[in-house]
Structure 1
Amino acid sequence: MPRPLPIALVQAPPRPAGRALAEYAGEVETVLRRFPETRLAAFPELHLCGVDGEGDDRTEQLRAAAQPLHGPRTKQLGELAGDLGIWLAPGTVCEEGDHGELFNTALVFSPRGELAGWYRKVFPWRPHEPYDPGTEFVVADLADAGRVGFSICYDAWFPEVTRHLAWMGAEVVLNPVQTTTPDRVQELVLARANAIVNQVFVASVNTAGPFGMGDSLLVGPEGDVLGALPGPGEGVLAHTIDLDEVARVRREGTAGTNRMWEQFTPADAPLPLPLYQGRIDPDRWRPREGDDR
């Protein structure tokens, strides 16, 4: 049976950290007035932590914007999601770790106002970003909808991230982005490639101009572009995806042909992966399903 998920990807400039939350509720409400069927609203990287400095000054501003994971900002965002009755992915925020770390952390809240999942960026854009790297891949269950995985901006350049999320059962990968550089062109290719080789939806939502390059994109599990916001202008990409398409594509094959997740059989020998000092075990290759996720 179809499992429709109406989503809204919001391409917008970052909000100044000092007054972001005061303005954000109105921003989300405006999106819902335009697209009242939305069940999941997603925003760009660092949407609530806009800063205008460079170098050490920028790092200090980002640290000033950081809060503990379960601090007042998280409480307010949870209350907003609960009041609106939607799944809310407000982009990423600066998180202050238990030992003074600075993490770039994606959040998602449930329609009941609960923090349903969080993910710390594993691959900060070095040497330009000051964040401490996260150490775990993360998926979150959206009750009665599906399973969402998280990657943040530069994470998309590392195929290990989306591959692990798909293996963990993600059906759609949310990729909040704050790309201000010309390589957004390559990121659009990567969004499609990551969707194709893992047979998942990829939602890459970038910051709007004048700060960001825009070009947000929604890709289906066969790599087809389902929607796009070309250029740096502000806008909302609203689309209803059917998460059952992931199972169909894996069952029938991409373009009716390729079934990568069925490549190995239990009779195959493990494949060494020297780069990782590990291996592919055939009996662990397929993505997790149901209660096994």
Structure 2
Amino acid sequence: MTTPLSIGLVQTAALHHAADDPGAFATDVRRVVAAHPGVRLLAYPELHLCGHRPGEDPETVMHAAAEPLDGPRGTALAALARELGIWLVPGSVYEQGADGRIYNTAPVYAPTGERVAEYRKIFPWRPYETTASGGAFVVFDMAGHGRVGLTICYDAWFPEVTRHLAWQGADLVLNLVRTPTVDRAQEVVLAQANSIVNQVFMASLNAAAPDGVGRSVVVDPEGNVRAEAGPGPEEVLTDVLDLGEARRVRTRGTAGLTRVWDPFEAGRSPIALPLYAGRIDPESWRRGAEG
């Protein structure tokens, strides 16, 4: 049995130069939590704390905003999650890696104030984004609720990413977005497609103007849009999800028919995957999805 999870997706513009006013984000989070006291998981869009204003050089902003995850910004975010007793995904941030490179990274803080996960964007939007590429698929467990996977914006265009998170047992995939362009229409379709083919909940959270065009969505494991924000200014999109529904759909099938994790019968030969110099092995196909 799983406990329903109340989520809040804050579709808003980036908090530009957050370092100049370190209390501004905390004030906003407290405001949202006060208005939606039942929310347990609160998330913000891609680079919410590290956005650049129109006309600013993104490279300059990136280098000025980059910090190690355990730096002052991370310490403040951990304290805020602990103060409010929520799971906090503050959007992605510019992370100064120990290797000297800068990553676009989404940290996750538990109600205890512990940083329980950090995901580095695997597919930066080349050539426009110059952050280093991450190299790991990341999920984290919310005790009593289920397992959540993380992606950032352009990752959603690569089906391998969501498929790996589903294989790792994700019931919900949270996609943090900063899309100001017309292809947001395709991203909404991709949220539905990724839900359908992987039988997971998808929450695609876009920024509001001028950093994004909104249209954040929550999609169920059968591809139905449960909630959708408009294209206008700030909006808090809320929903209550029973993440166990993803496991039910995988077991009984989409529309009670299609079970995409059950195509291989015992004894079938592995299938070569030239793209990955690897293979789909029937012996391991279901193992991660069963979580």
Name the TM-score class by shorter chain: over 0.9
Tell me if 1:38 matches 2:39: yes
Deviation string 1:128-173 (CA, Å, 9 cap, x unpaired) is 0011000111111122221110110000000000000000111100
| Amino acid of the structure 2 residue aligned with 1:45 | E
Task: Report the structure, 1 or 2, having the larger helix content.
Answer: 1
Could you tell me how far 1:53 is from its partner in structure 2? 5.7
Evaluate the alpha carbon distance shift between residue 75 and residue 245 of structure 1 in structure 2; reply closer, same or farther with a 3 A threshold.
same
**SS in structure 1 at match of 2:60:** helix
Question: Which residue of the partner structure matches residue 271 of structure 1?
Answer: 271
> 3-state SS of the aligned residue for 2:241?
strand
Aligned residue in 2 for 1:256: 256
Map residues 199-238 of structure 1 onto 2, 5 A cutoff.
199-238=199-238
Give distance in 2, aligned partners of 1:77 and 1:54: 28
Structure 1 residue 97 displacement after superposition: 0.9
Measure how far apart 1:25 and its partner are.
1.0
Contact 2:272-2:278 at 8 Å conserved across structures: yes
2:218 counterpart letter in structure 1 = L
Conserved in 2, the CA contact under 8 Å of 1:91 and 1:176?
A: yes
Deviations 1:95-142 (A, max 9, x none): 011122010000110000000100000000000001100011111112
CA distance in 2, matches of 1:99, 1:242: 39
Encode CA deviations 1:242-292: one digit per residue, 9 max, x unaligned.
0110111111100111000011123111011111111000011115267xx
Question: Offset of 1:211 from its aligned partner?
Answer: 2.5
In the alignment of these two chains, the number of paired residues is: 290
Paired-residue identity, %: 52
- 1:121, 1:19 → 2: CA distance? 25
Q: TM-score, normalization: structure 2?
A: 0.96
Contact 1:53 1:61 in 2 (8 A): no
Q: Deviations over 1:208-236 (max 9, x none)?
A: 01221111000000001110102132101
Residue segments in structure 1 that go unaligned for 5+ positions in a row: none
Alignment correspondent of 2:53: 52
Give the Cα separation in 2 of the matches to 1:164 and 1:72.
32
1:80-99 equivalences under 5 Å are 80-99=80-99
The answer to whether the Cα contact below 8 Å between 2:216 and 2:230 also exists between their aligned partners in 1 is: yes
Distance 1:225 1:251 in 2: 21
Secondary structure of residue in 2 paired with 1:107: strand
Give the SS at the match of 2:22: helix
Q: 1:272 to 1:54 in 2, by over 3 A?
A: farther
| 2:136 aligned residue | 136
Structure 1 residue 52: Cα displacement = 2.1
3-state DSSP class of the match of 2:29? helix
1:26 is matched with which residue? 27
Partner of 1:68: 68
| Conservation of the 8 A alpha-carbon contact between 2:146 and 2:244 | no
* Range that drifts further, 13-22 or 185-194: 13-22
- Give the whole-Å Cα distance in 2 for the aligned partners of 1:287 and 1:129: 35
For 2:119, give the aligned amino acid. Y
Contact 1:212–1:232 (CA<8 Å) still a contact in 2? no
CA contact (8 A) 1:173 1:201 kept: yes
Matched, 1:168 2:183: no
SS in 2 for 1:282: coil
Tell me how far 1:63 sits from its aligned partner.
1.1
RMSD of aligned residue pairs (Cα, Å):
1.4
Q: 5+ residue gaps in structure 2? A: none
Partners of 2:144 and 2:228 in 1: how far apart?
Answer: 26
Cross-structure match for 1:149: 149
Alignment partner of 1:14 is 2:14: yes
Distance 2:239 2:45 in 1: 17
Amino acid in structure 1 at the alignment position of 2:253: G
Give the AA of the match of 2:185. V
Q: Secondary structure at the match of 1:226?
A: strand
Q: Is the 8 A contact 1:265 1:283 kept in 2?
A: no
Q: Give the whole-Å Cα distance in 2 for the aligned partners of 1:102 and 1:287.
A: 34
Q: 2: CA distance between counterparts of 1:16 and 1:202?
A: 27
Q: What's the TM-score once normalised by structure 1's chain length? A: 0.96
What CA distance in whole angstroms lies between the structure 2 residues aligned with 1:237 and 1:276? 37
- Would the aligned equivalents of 1:170 and 1:200 in 2 still touch at CA under 8 Å? yes
In the alignment, residue 253 of structure 1 is paired with which amino acid?
A: G
**Aligned partner of residue 165 in structure 1, secondary structure:** helix
Letter in 2 for 1:265: E
For 1:6 and 1:53, locate their aligned partners in 2 and report how far apart those are by CA, in whole Å.
34
